[in-house]
Structure 1
Amino acid sequence: MAKNQNSLLLLSLLLLLASSVRLALSETGTASFTNARYSEQSCTDKAPAITMYTGVYDKLYGNGDICGAKYSVTCIGGVDGQSSPCRTTNPVEVTVTDSCSPEADNKPCPTFVLSAKAFGLIANPQAGFATITYER
C-alpha cells in the first residue's frame, strides 16, 4: 500500500513539475475577442480560411512577419481583479491573421484579439477579457 502511495505522490510531483515548466516557457498577456469575419483580416493571403484566428498587438505583429503563425493560448484568470472567466485550462490553437491597433478612444490593445469562437472555448465571452498564457 505504501508503495502505491509513493508512486502516486511521485506521479503528482512530476505532473506539477511538467506544468511549471510549460508555464515557464509561456508568455503572459491578455485576450479579448472580435466578431469580425475572417475575410476582414489583413493576413488572409498568408493563412488559410479558418475560424480559430487572432489579431496580436503591434509589437508582436511587427511588419506582419508572423502572419500565419500558430499560437497556443490558455486562459489563466480574470483581468483587473475580475473573477476568473476561464471555462477550461486546456489551450486553443489560433492562427495570426491580423494586428491590433489602438481603438478610436486610444485604449491599449490586449495581447491577443481572438476570434469569438476561440475566446468562447477558453473563457466566458460576457467577461470581455481574460488573462492568458501563450506560446508559439
Structure 2
Amino acid sequence: MKTTFCIVFISCLVSMAFAAPGTATFYQQYTPSACYGNTPVGVMIVAASDPLWDNGAICGKIFTVRCTGPTNPFPHPCYDGKTVTVKIVDHCPGCGGTLDLSKEAFETIANPVAGVIDIDYW
C-alpha cells in the first residue's frame, strides 16, 4: 500500500514538473469537430490552438489541465487544486488561448464567468 502511494505521488510530481503554461478559454458547440466530424466524443474535450495543432497530429491526445490564475480583473477564478483530463478533438484557429476547453471542462477547474484563465497543462 505504501509503495503504491509513493509511486502515484512521485508520478504526479514528475507530471507537474513537465507542465506547460498557457491560457484557456471555453466553447459550447462540440460537433462537428476537426478530428472526429459529427461523432460525439463526450464533453471533457478541448480544441487545440494553432501552435499545438500540427496539421491534426495532436488529435486524440489527452491532457491534464489546472487553472493557475486570472488573465483579467476577475478575482480568483480557479477552483484550488482541481484538475481536469481532456481529449483533443478539434482545432481552434485564432481562438485566443492555448486550449479551448468545453464549457464542462472549464467549469470543473474555474468559474466560467472569468472567460479566460491561465493554466498549466501536461
Structure 2, unaligned runs of 5 or more? 1-8
Distance 2:18 2:60 in 1: 21
| Aligned residues of 1:54 and 1:96 also touching (Cα < 8 A) | yes
* Residue 60 (structure 1) aligns with: 52
* Residue 4 (structure 2) aligns with: none
Structure with max Cα Rg? 1
| Aligned residues of 1:54 and 1:98 also touching (Cα < 8 A) | yes
* Residue 71 (structure 1) aligns with: 63
Structure 1, unaligned runs of 5 or more? 1-14, 104-108
State the 4+ residue runs in structure 1 displaced beyond 3 angstroms: 17-23
Q: Deviations over 1:30-82 (max 9, x none)?
A: 0010011x32211115x861110001111111110110110000011111454
Q: Which amino acid aligns with 1:60?
A: L
Q: CA distance change for structure 1 residues 43 and 82 in 2, over 3 Å: closer, same or farther?
A: same
Indicate the SS of the match to 1:83.
coil
Q: CA distance change for structure 1 residues 81 and 68 in 2, over 3 Å: closer, same or farther?
A: same
TM-score, L = length of structure 2 = 0.80
Q: CA distance change for structure 1 residues 18 and 76 in 2, over 3 Å: closer, same or farther?
A: farther
Q: 5 Å matches for 1:13-92?
A: 22-36=15-29, 38-44=30-36, 49-80=41-72, 82-92=74-84
Number of equivalent positions: 113
Q: Which amino acid aligns with 2:83?
A: P
Q: CA distance change for structure 1 residues 19 and 96 in 2, over 3 Å: closer, same or farther?
A: closer
Deviation at 1:87, TM superposition (A): 1.6
Q: Give me the identity figure in percent.
A: 35
| Aligned residues of 2:46 and 2:86 also touching (Cα < 8 A) | yes
TM-score, L = length of structure 1 = 0.73
Distance 1:76 1:100 in 2: 22
Distance 1:49 1:18 in 2: 27
Asked if 1:123 is matched to 2:122, the reply is no
